[in-house]
Chain A
Amino acid sequence: MAFNSVVLAKQVPDTKNITGQAMLDDGTVNRAALPAIFNPEDLNALESALALRDRCGGTVTVMTMGPPSACEILRNSLCRGADRGILLTDRRAAASDTLATSYILSCAVRKLSDVHLVFCGRQAIDGDTAQVGPQLAEKLNFPQVTYVEEILDVSDSTLRLRRNLGDGYELVEAPTPLLITVVDTANTPRPPAARRMLKYKRARGKAELSKEATEKFGKGATADIEKYMAQRCEQLSAKGLLIEQWDLDDIEADLTWCGRSGSPTKVHRIQSVVLTGNEHKQIEPTPQAISQMVHELIEDHTIG
């Protein structure tokens, strides 16, 4: 059967390629020093969804919640083969923690009809909570399978999946509609396709156009901005290059559950941990060597 899949993706600061000062003195992330990228495991999630579509047919919709600049990962998704991209952007959603985020995403997914599968990356590299996927499944009342490495068999309404548990694997069967979170060992994401890349390089979301217009005409020039926006939207839309954009009203979200008011998470303290150990030590698999190691660990109070 053909599946309609939704992939939830996040634009994150690239914590692997740190240039300059990554953390500010107040302990927050210095976003200016970090380029924004497609959260790596979300790319694995997208690849899983695209591969399933190649296999069984259906559609792949990518949705991201974030500022206007997050359109970049939607363009990237379209270049890689996604059928549709939707930007969820709203100032009132700022400062959402995982609970508020999963609530907002659940409203957005409900807005789409006939969703069979929701794909999420296991976790984002900025927060590393791995909470949004599971919380979203609860709110949608979908069964969830986390740490998915492979979609094995597919029947009409059941998927057989392999979960990577770190120290082994587990095979599970789950009915659709279903939410899965995908790990980075699942696949190698396909590159953007050249023809799609040359087409979708021009795709823009409304939020981006509005930024573009404000830069062009200045903040006060409302009439010019509106005219420009209308013109550009029409042009892009005619070519299928206008990226869809939803706000909290479009998805009928209850504002008390969104943004700061919907976010119970409080950051107690941020500690900068500098890892100093950089060497490893190989222990021969002999009783003497193991006993020696245990002795050393007790001596430096690592255990015992």
Chain B
Amino acid sequence: MANFFTDNQDIVFLFEHLDLARSAEAMEDSYADAQHFDYAPADAAEAVEDYRRVLEMVGEVAGDFIAPRAEDIDRTGNRIENNRCVRPVGMDECLDVLGKADLMGFTLPRKYGGLNFPSIIYTMATEIVSRGDAGLMNIFGLQGIAETINAFASDEIKDEYLPKFCEGEVTGAMVLTEPDAGSDLQAVKLKATQDEKGQWWLNGVKRFITNGCGEVLLVLARSEPDRAGGLGLSLFICNFSDGVKLRRLEDKLGIHGSPTCELQFDDVPARLIGERQRGLVTYVMALMNGARVGIAAQSLGIAQAAYQVARAYGATRRQFEVAIEKLPAVADLLAESNIDIQAARAMAYEAAYHVDLENSLLKKFEAGQLPDDKALVKQMRQESRRLKRLNAMLTPMAKYICSEMCNRVSYNAIQVLGGSGYMRDYPVERHYRDARITTIYEGTSQLQVVAAVRGVMSGTAQKSFNNFAAREYEGPLAGLAEKLAGIVPVFEEAIAYVKEQSGTEYMDLHGRQIVDAAIDIYTGYLLLNQARHSDEKLTVASRYINRIVSRVKYNCELIASGDRSSLDCFETLAGPVPTE
């Protein structure tokens, strides 16, 4: 009887203290759905209560149903039989339960059978499911596919596919990556050709496709053969059954429940999503915010799962006649891990929260639902631009910090368990393997830094710091706020130094330190604001802020050091390329 929502004090805390009524307002068009759907809320209070009910159910499913199947899913893995992927039994059972529980249309509109929940709640649910089984999250967390269809496809395609997603009848895949187009999707080659009747046909190979064996495939393909780069690419939808060949399942380190497929397309009929040439530049990019936050949530789930084991082990394992948690080095590992999780979670939820606000405004603009008051419309446009800039910085930050954190926390979890953690008797070795992909897929950490550093350099981060600093902090919070405010000028100096350098090379070289410093200050403010509500959080914030002040200084010194040795002395520092 485990519940991964109610037993997680930090998620429950955030659920209670985030302004979820505002998230509900963002999702519900004046609660008009209440007239047409018997499960729609009539006001914000009811919507938030509904979120809680569903999260409690998800927590129970993850704790009681999913988690007990994770080990077997990991050991069994997927295999190919007659061009189909045969999943581990536990995986099929989990997907069946999630579908029957109406959880596969989490954010989709009610008219298709969805729950119409905001991203922030979906993020919480994704984390909870991922704590149960990280690989299952890859399929549960692929609801962005249906969201993309909902946002950009024709009504005909929407009506055909979205109810099936909501009922859990089908799962989907984002079919983007190719052997020569990984991080650089502009290099995609898979051909889309249109015959004289207007029918599109797909030909080519895709690799590393998560759940590529799913029933519905969204395929990025070159529809403009003469046009190189992103503007030659369009997005298509096709069914797996129409002649797609499942060539191979990757044999990989972790997330064994999630099939990673190589697909061959031989004259596969497909339909265009939205407009030609907007496949990568508009549609796939729009997916990114959601996908990044999704991996952030997956990372949180893995980290939490690993930490639970380490925490329990630290309390019960005795050496030198004490529980090992009493040993200073172990105590520090555990405390640091738990704070690490909380800081990363604060950032992930901050990002998800703002994604909802941005999407809500975008929806209004697209639907032309604008007030008559022109000044108000102008204000809405300004707010929309502000949120776009903020999310372009926050979502890569969230993906980056959570995935890196989850690798540290699962690494430390094994460390706490020592030799036992290295063995397969405990689940931490699985969490450690599962964690490793999170800093790689949906954009590597290095690419997240590239995405986030623009926002940091252009002043978005500083604006946020100023907004945080302008709030009132009283009592013990005031001193901590002062510490944070005191470190901001050091950070600004470092940024100014980078701006003085010509080109972007120096910025990219020190991107990691720049983004790390910005994330530290940002999360410092987030935890400080959480500390308004509880003494425990005050303890966490004090410890965190006291530590990051030193870390920000350290990073800023490096940034302003002018060190270019990794580029200037690369041959010497990296040594020769190995030869046979």
The yes or no answer to B50 lying at the interface (CB within 8 A) is yes
A195 and B113 within 8 A (CB): yes
Instruction: Collect the chain A residues with CB atoms within 8 Å of residue B103's CB.
Output: 194
B97 and A191 within 8 A (CB): yes
Residues of A162-221 contacting chain B, CB below 8 A: 188, 190-199, 201
A193 and B101 within 8 A (CB): yes
The yes or no answer to B61 lying at the interface (CB within 8 A) is yes
Nearest Cβ in chain B — how far from A12, in angstroms?
15
Q: Mark A80-108, 1 if CB is under 8 A from B, else 0.
A: 00000000000000000000000000000
Instruction: Collect the chain B residues with CB atoms within 8 Å of residue A16's CB.
Output: 1
- Interface pick from B4-12, B52-60, B305-313, B336-344: B52-60
The yes or no answer to B100 lying at the interface (CB within 8 A) is yes
Instruction: Collect the chain A residues with CB atoms within 8 Å of residue B40's CB.
Output: 198
Nearest Cβ in chain B — how far from A36, in angstroms?
16
Nearest Cβ in chain A — how far from B111, in angstroms?
13
Q: Known contacts being A197-B54, A201-B53, is A191 close to B60, with CB within 8 Å?
A: yes
Residues of B27-70 contacting chain A, CB below 8 A: 38-41, 50, 53-54, 57, 60-61, 64-65
B57 and A192 within 8 A (CB): yes
The yes or no answer to A295 lying at the interface (CB within 8 A) is no
Measured between alpha carbons, how far is A195 from B38 in the docked complex, in Å?
9
B65 and A194 within 8 A (CB): no
Measured between alpha carbons, how far is A197 from B49 in the docked complex, in Å?
12
Q: Mark A231-256, 1 if CB is under 8 A from B, else 0.
A: 00000000110000000000000000
B97 and A194 within 8 A (CB): no
B65 and A193 within 8 A (CB): no
B38 and A188 within 8 A (CB): no
Measured between alpha carbons, how far is A239 from B35 in the docked complex, in Å?
12
A193 and B38 within 8 A (CB): no
B53 and A190 within 8 A (CB): no
Measured between alpha carbons, how far is A188 from B100 in the docked complex, in Å?
13
B97 and A193 within 8 A (CB): no
Residues of A129-180 contacting chain B, CB below 8 A: none
Measured between alpha carbons, how far is A16 from B115 in the docked complex, in Å?
34
The yes or no answer to B442 lying at the interface (CB within 8 A) is no
Nearest Cβ in chain B — how far from A72, in angstroms?
14
Tier of interface size on chain A: 10 to 19
Of the candidates B1, B38, B65, which one forms a contact with A191 in the assembled complex, judged by CB atoms under 8 Å apart?
A: B65
Measured between alpha carbons, how far is A191 from B90 in the docked complex, in Å?
16
Nearest Cβ in chain B — how far from A282, in angstroms?
19
B57 and A195 within 8 A (CB): no
The yes or no answer to B102 lying at the interface (CB within 8 A) is yes
What total of A-B pairs shows CB separation below 8 Å?
48
B101 and A194 within 8 A (CB): yes
Of the candidates A188, A190, A239, which one forms a contact with B101 in the assembled complex, judged by CB atoms under 8 Å apart?
A: A190
A188 and B65 within 8 A (CB): yes
Of the candidates B1, B38, B41, B115, which one forms a contact with A194 in the assembled complex, judged by CB atoms under 8 Å apart?
A: B115
Measured between alpha carbons, how far is A199 from B42 in the docked complex, in Å?
12
Instruction: Collect the chain B residues with CB atoms within 8 Å of residue A190's CB.
Output: 97, 100-101
Instruction: Report the count of interface residues on B (CB-CB < 8 A).
Output: 20
Nearest Cβ in chain B — how far from A269, in angstroms?
33
Instruction: Collect the chain A residues with CB atoms within 8 Å of residue B38's CB.
Output: 199, 239-240
Instruction: Collect the chain A residues with CB atoms within 8 Å of residue B60's CB.
Output: 191
Q: Known contacts being A198-B50, A198-B53, A201-B53, is A192 close to B101, with CB within 8 Å?
A: yes
Q: Known contacts being A199-B38, A199-B39, is A194 close to B61, with CB within 8 Å?
A: no
Measured between alpha carbons, how far is A17 from B100 in the docked complex, in Å?
28
Of the candidates A193, A201, A240, which one forms a contact with B102 in the assembled complex, judged by CB atoms under 8 Å apart?
A: A193
Of the candidates A17, A188, A195, A239, which one forms a contact with B115 in the assembled complex, judged by CB atoms under 8 Å apart?
A: A195
Chain A residue nearest to B38 (CB atoms) is A199
B57 and A191 within 8 A (CB): yes
B57 and A197 within 8 A (CB): yes
Chain A residue nearest to B61 (CB atoms) is A191
Measured between alpha carbons, how far is A198 from B50 in the docked complex, in Å?
6
Measured between alpha carbons, how far is A26 from B350 in the docked complex, in Å?
55
Chain B residue nearest to A239 (CB atoms) is B38
Instruction: Collect the chain A residues with CB atoms within 8 Å of residue B113's CB.
Output: 195
Q: Which of A191, A194, A199 has the most chain B CB within a 10 Å cutoff?
A: A194
Measured between alpha carbons, how far is A195 from B115 in the docked complex, in Å?
7
Instruction: Collect the chain B residues with CB atoms within 8 Å of residue A196's CB.
Output: 39, 102
Q: Which of A196, A197, A199 has the most chain B CB within a 10 Å cutoff?
A: A197
Of the candidates A17, A197, A239, which one forms a contact with B53 in the assembled complex, judged by CB atoms under 8 Å apart?
A: A197
Measured between alpha carbons, how far is A198 from B102 in the docked complex, in Å?
11
Nearest Cβ in chain A — how far from B51, in angstroms?
10
Instruction: Collect the chain A residues with CB atoms within 8 Å of residue B97's CB.
Output: 190-191
Instruction: Collect the chain A residues with CB atoms within 8 Å of residue B64's CB.
Output: 188
Q: Mark B84-121, 1 if CB is under 8 A from A, else 0.
A: 00000000000001001111000000000101000000
Chain A residue nearest to B113 (CB atoms) is A195
Chain B residue nearest to A194 (CB atoms) is B102
Instruction: Collect the chain A residues with CB atoms within 8 Å of residue B53's CB.
Output: 197-198, 201
Measured between alpha carbons, how far is A206 from B490 in the docked complex, in Å?
67
Measured between alpha carbons, how far is A47 from B521 in the docked complex, in Å?
51
Of the candidates A17, A194, A239, which one forms a contact with B57 in the assembled complex, judged by CB atoms under 8 Å apart?
A: A194
Nearest Cβ in chain B — how far from A53, in angstroms?
13
Chain A residue nearest to B53 (CB atoms) is A197
Nearest Cβ in chain A — how far from B135, in angstroms?
20
Chain A residue nearest to B54 (CB atoms) is A194
Measured between alpha carbons, how far is A195 from B64 in the docked complex, in Å?
21
Q: Mark A260-284, 1 if CB is under 8 A from B, else 0.
A: 0000000000000000000000000
Nearest Cβ in chain A — how far from B61, in angstroms?
5
Q: List 18 A-B contacts (CB under 8 A).
A: A16-B1, A188-B65, A191-B57, A191-B61, A192-B57, A193-B102, A194-B39, A194-B54, A194-B101, A194-B103, A196-B102, A197-B39, A197-B54, A197-B57, A198-B41, A198-B54, A199-B39, A240-B38
6 more A-B residue pairs beyond the given contacts A198-B40, A198-B54, with a C-beta to C-beta distance below 8 A:
A192-B57, A193-B102, A194-B57, A196-B102, A197-B39, A199-B39
Chain B residues with a Cβ under 8 A of chain A? 1, 38-41, 50, 53-54, 57, 60-61, 64-65, 97, 100-103, 113, 115
7 smallest beta-carbon distances between A and B, as pairs: A198-B39, A194-B102, A199-B39, A195-B39, A199-B38, A195-B102, A193-B102
